Chains A and B, each alone.
Chain A
């Protein structure tokens, strides 16, 4: 979570994208004050097309406006953030979700990611970085905060056998490659994608590919811990 000076720290590719397309953003949070705060922080780089304060409202308005990116609070009255994602994922696959959370509990974050969100950032994120994350998600990439990277490293670290419902023909879903681990470690250490690319001598595109692949595993893997984290919240 570092302040990026727009233009100085941002990737050239992103700068181009900013000029070409302004992503249409929808904000879902039960605190009106927070919504307006985010709206002002996003500034002119994105187009805010709507807001919602609870789950039914969010489902209705997002279906109507069809934004590119939905900024989604994890803690929502009426089922939480993942209820919104679950309801819309089938009917509107083109809408991308970026989870915003003040909580650091893995069960909150993993549940909404497994429901289909393309990334997660903490609410303390700076405005410039939030804009950066929105662009990234709009372009189809994944966004990992240092803490999410830490959760994933923990969840995929154990060599415990996967759950009984695991598809036996796809064991690669339950393991991270060495490179994916390295990328996640650097994210957890506070590196940006650009810095990771420089550190590992790979392109930014390759970093994005690795992160997307981790996101896929995170959503589809049947590892016990992930399943547990994802269900724990619903039980509570």
Chain B
């Protein structure tokens, strides 16, 4: 890694001047307080429940249970409302909603209309044969079905796969390979269903108590036979998808750690090649760090276990960076709070930004400022060094892109970099929590913050 500003990577658009203030700027699925968006990662079906949960700061499972119960109690109308919400609420990070796209999809509209009219004919038939209770389900089914057709045709690629899973029992008819299995299952299900209905019917005449129970059992097994494999597949797909995501995140995390420790040290060794003592000291320190990571599981650059509050973490960064890299760091903290995983990541990103500034900026002092507010924790790393042109940074430079930006994004925070050649650099990081932070102030006897500074 050659010295100079080029080694301070930068990606993404250049933040505007006004954007750099203290206004709300954040994304990420669990720290959301902006407009309502469907969740991309936590979703089970359309991500509506997860989006609502993130917005209201509630538990996803609770919201899901409420929706399902409401759907059952309202005779299916809430399920229809869910599908409508699916179409109207944009996916996070996406431009526009599905309904907007569906309006231009003539064929999809025709399909949905045809499907709807088919159900309305069914409803008329039902009322003719006076099966009243069935016809009350028709409307929600019509709305939900038409909506699903439009979503299927107009959603993004990953969502289409999801809908395909949902409509599998029907769509399965069209694919040859699965057809046989499906026909067998359908036959068994129909026989079971017929048996169940017949048993239920006869229960009116006989007073035997066991018969309705047997009928219900048959009905349930019919449903299981028909839909069981499909449910299993959905569950399996969900697990596979989740595992893949976890693996990708782990990989990114390891890459970040290696960059923060090994690559940084190698760069330093190259710069100080003429000072053998320093090179040896650096190599020894790095070896120790690497060993403790590989064999004791303590990741390099982490403040886990060493600091319990944000302010003590900031002080730790100041001490470590001053000791390792020899630059002066002026650290100021306002307020304090207990560390959680997200804030530990914020500190790791702040450390990396500070190391970058000390190593590359050439400024004698780097300012490190952290402020804890009830809704947000922000950290600013500023130097008055040579600065760099964020647009001219090679893509393979990982420091800011991976260790700062991506790390913050993975934990639902934001990172902004402002720099220009000759004007120094400022990296601003912020993290939000839906639950809020419990601010500790130094000098308050009501809290344990006496030693916070």
Contacts and interface: CB of A to CB of B under 8 A. Distances in A.
Contacts of A91: none
Contact of B334 (A105, A154, A191): A154
A157 interface: yes
A191 B363 CA distance: 14
Interface string A189-202: 11100000000000
A150 B334 contact: yes
A2 B443 contact: no
Contact of B330 (A146, A185, A228): A146
Contacts of A225: 441, 443-444
B302 interface: no
A158 B330 contact: no
Given A2-B364, A3-B364, A188 B453 contact: no
A225 B22 CA distance: 26
Interface stretch (B203-211, B213-221, B365-373): B365-373
A197 to B, nearest CB: 14
A157 B439 CA distance: 10
A53 interface: no
Interface in B343-388: 363-365, 367, 369, 371, 380, 382, 384
Contact of B442 (A2, A106, A182): A106
Contacts of B363: 2
Given A146-B367, A189-B369, A190-B382, A157 B332 contact: no
Nearest to A110: B443
B164 interface: no
Contact of A150 (B332, B364, B439, B443): B332
B444 A190 contact: no
Contacts of A106: 442-443, 453
A191 B335 CA distance: 20
B384 A2 contact: yes
Contacts of A182: 22
Contacts of B442: 106, 154
A143 B4 CA distance: 34
B92 interface: no
B33 interface: no
A1 interface: yes
B330 A190 contact: yes
Contacts of A146: 330, 332, 367, 369
B333 interface: yes
Contact of B365 (A2, A188, A228): A2
Nearest to B363: A2
Nearest to B382: A190
A98 to B, nearest CB: 19
Given A3-B364, A106-B443, A185-B22, A150 B380 contact: no
A74 to B, nearest CB: 16
B441 to A, nearest CB: 6
Contact of B443 (A3, A185, A188, A228): A228
A1 B360 CA distance: 18
B199 to A, nearest CB: 69
A46 interface: no
A149 B369 CA distance: 11
Which size class do A's interface residues fall under? 20 to 34
Contacts of A105: 453
Contacts of B439: 157
B402 interface: no
Nearest to A190: B367
A158 B445 CA distance: 13
B364 A190 contact: no
A228 B441 CA distance: 13
Contacts of A150: 332-334, 369
B10 interface: no
A68 B335 CA distance: 36
B175 to A, nearest CB: 61
Interface in B413-451: 426, 439, 441-444
Given A2-B364, A146-B330, A146-B369, A189 B443 contact: no
A229 B443 CA distance: 7
A38 interface: no
Contacts of A158: 441, 444
Contacts of B333: 150
A26 to B, nearest CB: 27
A202 to B, nearest CB: 14
A153 interface: yes
A100 to B, nearest CB: 16
Contacts of A228: 443
A229 B335 CA distance: 16
A158 B22 CA distance: 19
A106 B443 CA distance: 9
A198 to B, nearest CB: 10
A3 B330 CA distance: 14
A189 B441 contact: no
Nearest to B452: A154
B371 A153 contact: yes
Contacts of B444: 158, 225
A135 interface: no
Contacts of A185: 22, 369, 371
27 contacts: A2-B364, A104-B453, A106-B442, A106-B443, A146-B330, A149-B332, A150-B334, A150-B369, A153-B334, A154-B335, A154-B441, A154-B443, A155-B443, A158-B444, A185-B369, A188-B332, A188-B334, A189-B367, A189-B426, A190-B367, A190-B369, A190-B382, A190-B384, A225-B441, A225-B443, A225-B444, A228-B443
Given A150-B334, A155-B443, A185-B371, 4 more contacts: A150-B332, A153-B371, A225-B443, A228-B443
Sorted nearest first, the 5 A-B pairs with minimum C-beta distance are A190-B367, A150-B332, A153-B334, A189-B369, A189-B380
